[in-house]
Amino acid sequence: MALTLIDKGFLRPQFKRDSSRITFYLKQSPYLQIKFIGWNKAEFFAESQVPHQKSYSSVPFPTVLSPAAALPSSASLLAQSVKVHGLYLKSLLHKSGAVLLGGYGVSTADEFNEVVEAFEFEELLRYIGGVALRTNVVGRVFTANESPPEQKISFHHEMAHVITYIHMIQSSYSTNYLLSDYVLYGDDDDPSSAIGHSWKSTLFTNDKSIAEKRAAHLGMKLQWTEDCVKTIMGPILAIRFDNSRNCKIWFNSMVAPYTRWKDSRNDPEKAGKLGNS
Task: Convert the pLDDT of each residue in 221-270 to its tens digit.
Answer: 888 877 777 777 777 777 888 888 888 887 777 776 666 667 666 677 77
pLDDT band at 154 (very low <50, low <70, confident <90, very high): low
Is residue 277 in a domain? Answer: no
Q: What does the alpha-carbon distance between residue 264 and residue 108 come to, in Å, rounded to a whole number? A: 35
CA-angle at 85, arms to 83 and 89, nearest 5°: 105
Backbone φ and ψ for 94, nearest 5 degrees, come out as -65, -35
Q: What pLDDT does residue 89 have?
A: 93
The residue among 225, 163, 231, 165 whose CA lies nearest residue 197 is 231
Across 152-181, average pLDDT: 48
Residue type at 19? S
- Name the residue with higher pLDDT: 35 or 57: 57
pLDDT band at 126 (very low <50, low <70, confident <90, very high): low
Residues 144, 113 share a domain = no
Three-state secondary structure readout of 65-96: EECCCCCCCCHHHHHHHHHHCHHHHHHHHHHH
Across 184-202, average pLDDT: 67
pLDDT band at 112 (very low <50, low <70, confident <90, very high): very high
Residues 195, 207 share a domain = yes
Is residue 50 in a domain? Answer: yes
pLDDT band at 148 (very low <50, low <70, confident <90, very high): confident
Q: How many domains does the chain have?
A: 3
Mean pLDDT of the chain: 71
The residue among 27, 67, 29, 61 whose CA lies nearest residue 46 is 67
Is residue 130 in a domain? Answer: no
Q: Is 110 a residue whose pLDDT tops 90?
A: yes
pLDDT band at 2 (very low <50, low <70, confident <90, very high): very low
- Name the residue with higher pLDDT: 175 or 122: 122
Across 194-200, average pLDDT: 70
Domain CATH code at residue 189: 3.60.130.10
Choosing from 72, 88, 121, the residue where a domain stops is: 121
Long-range Cβ pairs for the range 47-54 (8 Å, 24+)? 48/102, 50/100, 50/102
Domain hosting 74: range is 41-121
Residues 201, 90 share a domain = no
The residue among 262, 260, 183, 253 whose CA lies nearest residue 215 is 183
Q: What pLDDT does residue 6 have?
A: 35
Residues 258, 240 share a domain = yes
Is residue 14 in a domain? Answer: yes
Q: What is the pLDDT of residues 83-101, one digit of tens each?
A: 989 999 999 988 888 888 9
pTM, to two decimals: 0.51
Is residue 5 in a domain? Answer: yes
Q: Is 276 exposed, middle or buried (0-12, 13-18, 19+ CB in 10 A)?
A: exposed
Q: Is 70 a residue whose pLDDT tops 90?
A: no
Residues 237, 177 share a domain = yes
